[in-house]
Homo-oligomer: A and B are copies of this chain.
Amino acid sequence: MKDNKTLRIGLIGYGLMGRAHANAYKRVGDFFPELRYRPRLEAICGRNQSRVNAFAEQWGVESFETDWNALVARDDIDAIDICTPNDMHAEIALAAAAAGKMVLCEKPLARTVAEAQPMVEAVEKAGVKNTVWYNYRRVPAVTLAKQIVDSGKLGKIFHFRSNFLQDWTINPELPQGGEGLWRLDHQVAGSGVTGDLLAHCIDAAMWLNGGIKDVSAVTATFVKERTHQLTGDVQKVGIDDACIFHCHFDNGSLGLFEATRYARGHKALFTFEINGEHASIRWDLHDMTRLEYFDHDDQSVVRGWRSIHVSDSDQPYMDRWWIPGTSIGYEHTFVHQVADFLKSLETGEPCSPTFADALETQKVCEAVLRSSESKSWEDTGVTW
């Protein structure tokens, strides 16, 4: 590192996540001034020169690259942030670790466990800081849920359920693959809703409720063929359009998960609910500022689900922002993750979820897909 203040970032990918991360790097210092490290977006990298150039201009990034190998090779870069489609995660991460760079990787860690395992080994062997952007952990209401769980308030847990419902691929005329649509291309994405959406649910689930032991799943591909955007060919759809599974957690609770892109009326309805002996919690992304909380210890006649507007300064992260009653949004989850990453550089602690954590989520995803194939229960092999 050039000095003990600036963390020089090389960002690969200028899509939605590239923008979200760029924004986070630029803003974190204004709101977390106590951090010793300040990130600087040193270079942006993408294959299309005119577009990467445009991104650099718009976002005020001083240099750009069109070959990620060149970026990884640069001396003036401390950390590589991988926002590419899933099929590039492993190769880049391995190279970055080998070059001694810190690695921040978009989720899911990889397309498969087989790809992800060496990534974990690489960062651990290289001893480089690493994290995976399961950003929803840093929604203040979700972090508050974690604090409530950790307080022991819920008692023994019986149920965890989570879903992630979208409706953007119902139209069969929507092509698969190519610009903005790589998530529909099995070769690039590795899977459909399982890696894209369920991975978020699973990360939250294991963070909040511990390891998932075994799973029984079903998937569906409702639209069987789509035109590939790049080739123009009509091809078989290889991804899962929808995926449902139930499972056992290590703590004895039952889990229930569902993701789909065919739930008309839901844009990005990521929800979870935990039912414990003494209390329950639920949250959904569409109303992300609120946490629902039921406390059985409340006096019985006035007992009810509380709708907590998580916007006070004694609630997670909210001392950094505005005033009670006002909301922050989706992008702030990335700012918080950057802040926590920077903090971890000071403390020497890992910044969760690490590559190792994300590998466990990958194992569940893979067991889910395996179960949907085998039509039987599959052990996940997770150690949480």
Q: Given the known A-B contacts A23-B30, A286-B309, A315-B301, are A325 and B267 also in contact in the complex, defined by CB atoms under 8 Å?
A: yes
From known contacts A256-B258, A304-B307, infer whether A326 and B329 are also in contact, taking CB-CB under 8 Å. Answer: yes
Q: Which of A67-75, A275-283, A353-361 contacts B (4 or more CB under 8 A)?
A: A275-283
Which residues of chain B are near A287, meaning CB under 8 Å? Answer: 287, 289-290
Interface stretch (choices A84-92, A124-132, A291-299): A291-299
Looking at the assembled complex, report how far the CB atom of A40 sits from the nearest CB atom of chain B, in whole angstroms: 12
Complex contacts, A147 vs chain B, CB 8 Å: 301
Is the CB of A314 closer than 8 A to any CB of chain B? yes
B258 touches A311 (CB 8 A): no
Q: Which of A11-39 contact B (CB under 8 A)?
A: 16, 20, 22-23, 26-27, 29-30, 33
Question: Contact mask A236-260 → B, CB, 8 Å, 1/0?
Answer: 0000001011101000101010101
CB contact under 8 A between A158 and B258, given known A16-B323, A306-B304: no
* Docked-complex contact A296 and B244, CB < 8 angstroms: no
Kindly list chain B residues whose C-beta atoms are within 8 Å of the C-beta of A22: 30
Assess whether A308 is interfacial by the CB under 8 Å rule: yes
Question: At the interface, yes or no: A269 with Cβ under 8 Å from chain B?
Answer: yes
- Of residues 147 to 166 in A, which have CB atoms within 8 Å of B's CB atoms? 147-148, 158-159, 161, 165-166
Tell me the bound Cα distance from A330 to B320 in angstroms.
13
Choose one: B252, B303, B314, B324; the contact of A268 (CB below 8 Å).
Answer: B324
A265 at the interface (CB under 8 A from B): yes
Number of interface residues, chain A, beta carbon within 8 A: 93
Q: Give the contact stretch, choosing among A110-118, A184-192, A216-224, A343-351.
A: A216-224
In the complex, which of the residues B291, B300, B321, B330 contacts A326, with contact meaning CB atoms closer than 8 Å?
A: B330
**A295 interface neighbour in B59, B168, B293, B302, Cβ under 8 Å:** B302
A182 at the B interface (CB under 8 A): no
In the complex, 14 of the A-B residue pairs with CB atoms within 8 angstroms, ordered by the A residue number, are A33-B57, A144-B301, A159-B260, A159-B262, A216-B218, A264-B276, A265-B280, A267-B323, A288-B327, A293-B302, A298-B306, A305-B306, A306-B307, A322-B329
Extra pairs beyond A148-B302, A267-B309 (5, CB < 8 Å): A29-B58, A167-B275, A218-B246, A244-B246, A307-B307
Q: Give A residues with C-beta under 8 Å from B.
A: 16, 20, 22-23, 26-27, 29-30, 33, 57-60, 144, 147-148, 158-159, 161, 165-168, 170, 216, 218, 220, 222, 242, 244-246, 248, 252, 254, 256, 258, 260, 262-269, 275-280, 285-291, 293-296, 298, 300-309, 311-312, 314-315, 321-332, 375-377
